[in-house]
Amino acid sequence: MLTVKTDLLETLRLALEDLSPGAGARAAFESPKVAAHGDLATTAAMQLAKPLKLNPRQVAEKLCAALQATVPYQTWVDALDIAGPGFINIKLKPAAKQQVVREVLAQTSCYGKQAGNGQRMLVEFVSANPTGPLHVGHGRQAALGDAICNLFATQGWDVYREFYYNDAGVQIGTLATSTQLRVQGFKPGDDCWPVDPDNPVSKNFYNGDYIADIAADFLAQKTVKSDDREFTASGDANDLDGMRQFAVAYLRHEQDLDLQAFAVKFDNYYLESSLYTSGKVDAAVKRLIDAGKTYEQDGALWLKSTDYGDDKDRVMRKKDGSYTYFVPDVAYHITKWERGFSKVINIQGTDHHGTIARVRAGLQAANVGIPQGFPDYVLHTMVRVVKGGEEVKISKRAGSYVTLRDLIEWTSKDAVRFFLLSRKPDTEYTFDVDLAVQKNNDNPVYYVQYAHARICSVLAAWGGDAASLASVDLSALDSPQAQALMLLLAKYPAMLTMAAEGFAPHDVTFYLRELAACYHSYYDAERILVDDEAVKLARLALVAATAQVLSNGLAVLGVSAPQKM
């Protein structure tokens, strides 16, 4: 049906051009608010009324007459109806809707995907400092980042996944000291263990059992290896720097295990420390100074970020000579631009909202050709976890929060991904563990996966060659339920485009739930394996196409499409 819609849209464009030169740009279809009104609609006549100095309905009548005289509209359109002040509702012939079945079966996993656009984009997500296991918030970020990457890949982008972290900051120093205390035989609660809540260093000490595990492996002189580093412990209780490097490698390995369990892979790991050692931070600061966008005041160096819409100027270099945290962010994003990424998306928690204006201001002030609005941000809220009707806040392994791996072990990778993607990123979300393991229609991921498995069981019961369904006669697909299902299949490509443009993988979950419901309704209305061979093959082709789209959509979310349940 995509081909049909393209032909009809081009014909509409040409008709609008004939009515008013330049009006072809107004050619667009939308879905009628009431399904009974038609399959497609256009408001182009209403938009042309004023420039043509005609009543909108008069324009609509002229446009309908022009369209009805064309071959595409005679071939695919059953009726053109004018409604209200000048809406044109388009009712398609069953044959037009049936074309989507052929398109899906011909394109299989490529259905909904666009050709490559030759542009590179980078998505930075998770980016957790290696100070502990990944928590549920990191899980939401991992699901969002991976799904957004998959969405943009369907739109023809060359997508690059990057994980950015600091291996040398204050938090890492605290991690090393926490490990050393464990190596020395101390534990949280001992007199020497810092507990002063007013001390900014001691209050951040890491108390989880995983610190004891790191200490034991350090004393055992083990070697740990992660995707981006490897280190062998000395076993020396006085080797604080060795403990720092060992703990970082150990926890990066733990994070890798979390991400593997979640089926998330990265193309690159970028170290914040490398921005300093390579001189990129100093170079970025020099650019800002040379551009005249900084000034000295009260012993500090300030960025004139108000020149770029920020609510106040920001300190870049403090009195003690250290840089504030947004400065390496500016240097980092300059490297993203210099590496050839024309589009960059950062997936971060809502607590990063305040950094957006100052990072963008720094990038504009650096004057390196970066466009305004670079980079894009997707901010997400944290996640509450409920189990047995009560909120779960503590993980023995982490010490103070539920880990991503806890959630996967309690439920499944598929359930965690689907659930965490089922709401807009910036809305609060409560993950119900009990619901995620239920095998009924109340569980949305089960509901969608069951629709796919149900179709696979029908195809298995038939036992024929699925490839042969691509060329069967589809004329028997004329019932209201079959046509509703085909129309929904036809909306899949446009849904992907809109979801990518809005950084909205939750739109994919909504679509899949609607498609599963539409299939279940069709299955209840029409028996598929009937005696009439032509009818049976047509219905098998329809459900096979539905299974393919369910599989494609689940793949965007990183969720499996099981054949049996």
Closest alpha carbon to 233 in 253, 252, 217, 210? 217
Tokens 């390995």, located at residue? 253
Task: Check residue 401 and give its pLDDT.
Answer: 83
Q: What is the CATH number of the domain that holds 73?
A: 3.30.1360.70
For residues 187 and 193, is the Cβ–Cβ distance under 8 A? yes
Q: How does pLDDT run across 314-343, given as a tens digit for each residue?
A: 999 999 999 998 999 999 999 999 999 999
Query: How far apart, in Å, are the Cα atoms of 439 and each of 385, 443, 444, 446, 450?
Result: 19, 7, 10, 6, 9
For residues 98 and 75, is the Cβ–Cβ distance under 8 A? no
Which of 59, 92, 125 terminates a domain? The answer is 92
Q: Give how many domains the chain has, as a whole number.
A: 2
As to burial, measured by CB atoms within 10 angstroms (0-12 exposed, 13-18 middle, 19+ buried), residue 302 is: middle
Residue 472 falls inside a structural domain? yes
Residue 526 falls inside a structural domain? yes
For residues 419 and 448, is the Cβ–Cβ distance under 8 A? no
With a cut of 90, say whether residue 297 has pLDDT above it.
yes
Q: How far apart are the C-alpha atoms of 543 and 537, rounded to whole Å?
A: 10
Which of 45, 71, 92 terminates a domain? The answer is 92
Residue 553 falls inside a structural domain? yes
For residues 330 and 294, is the Cβ–Cβ distance under 8 A? no
DSSP 422-444: SS-TTS-EEEEHHHHT--STTSH
3 pLDDT band, cuts 50/70/90, is confident
Q: How far apart are the C-alpha atoms of 209 and 204, rounded to whole Å?
A: 15
Q: How far apart are the C-alpha atoms of 83 and 66, rounded to whole Å?
A: 17
DSSP summary character for residue 306: G
Residue 502 falls inside a structural domain? yes
Task: Check residue 48 and give its pLDDT.
Answer: 87
398 pLDDT band, cuts 50/70/90, is low
User: Is the whole model's pTM more than 0.85, yes or no?
Assistant: yes
Q: How does pLDDT run across 221-271, given as a tens digit for each residue?
A: 999 999 999 999 999 999 999 999 999 999 999 999 999 999 999 999 999
What are the residues whose beta carbons fall under 8 Å from the beta carbon of 197, sequence distance 6 or more? 203
Which of 69, 92, 115 terminates a domain? The answer is 92
DSSP 126-182: ----SSS--BHHHHHHHHHHHHHHHHHHHTT-EEEEEEEE-SSSHHHHHHHHHHHHH
What are the residues whose beta carbons fall under 8 Å from the beta carbon of 1, sequence distance 6 or more? 96, 97, 98, 99, 100, 103, 486, 487, 489, 490
Indicate the average pLDDT of the chain.
93
Q: How far apart are the C-alpha atoms of 159 and 452, rounded to whole Å?
A: 28
- Please report the sign of the dihedral spanned by the C-alpha atoms of residue 203, residue 330, residue 281, residue 311: negative
- Please report the sign of the dihedral spanned by the C-alpha atoms of residue 356, residue 362, residue 365, residue 369: negative
Residue 316 falls inside a structural domain? no
Q: How far apart are the C-alpha atoms of 496 and 151, rounded to whole Å?
A: 7
Amino acid at 143: A
Domain, as residue range, for 68 = 2-92
Q: How does pLDDT run across 434-454, given as a tens digit for each residue?
A: 999 999 999 999 999 999 999
Share of the chain above pLDDT 90, in %: 81
Which pairs count as long-range contacts for 19-26, CB under 8 Å and 24+ apart, including other chains? Answer: 19/48, 19/52, 19/59, 19/62, 19/63, 19/66, 20/48, 20/51, 20/52, 23/48, 23/51
Task: Check residue 206 and give its pLDDT.
Answer: 85
Residue 428 falls inside a structural domain? no
Query: How far apart, in Å, are the Cα atoms of 431 and each of 15, 151, 157, 416, 448?
Result: 51, 24, 32, 8, 18
DSSP summary character for residue 305: G
Share of the chain above pLDDT 70, in %: 97
Q: Cβ of 269: how many Cβ atoms within 10 Å?
A: 18
For residues 87 and 61, is the Cβ–Cβ distance under 8 A? no
Residue 81 falls inside a structural domain? yes
Q: What is the CATH number of the domain that holds 552?
A: 1.10.730.10
Q: How does pLDDT run across 535-549, given as a tens digit for each residue?
A: 999 999 999 999 999
Residue 219 falls inside a structural domain? no
Q: How far apart are the C-alpha atoms of 234 and 218, rounded to whole Å?
A: 7
| CA 164 and chain centroid, separation | 18
Q: Hey, is 244 helix, strand or coil?
A: helix
Mean pLDDT of 122-133: 94
Q: How does pLDDT run across 199-211, given as a tens digit for each residue?
A: 544 455 888 889 9
Closest alpha carbon to 549 in 455, 478, 464, 479? 455
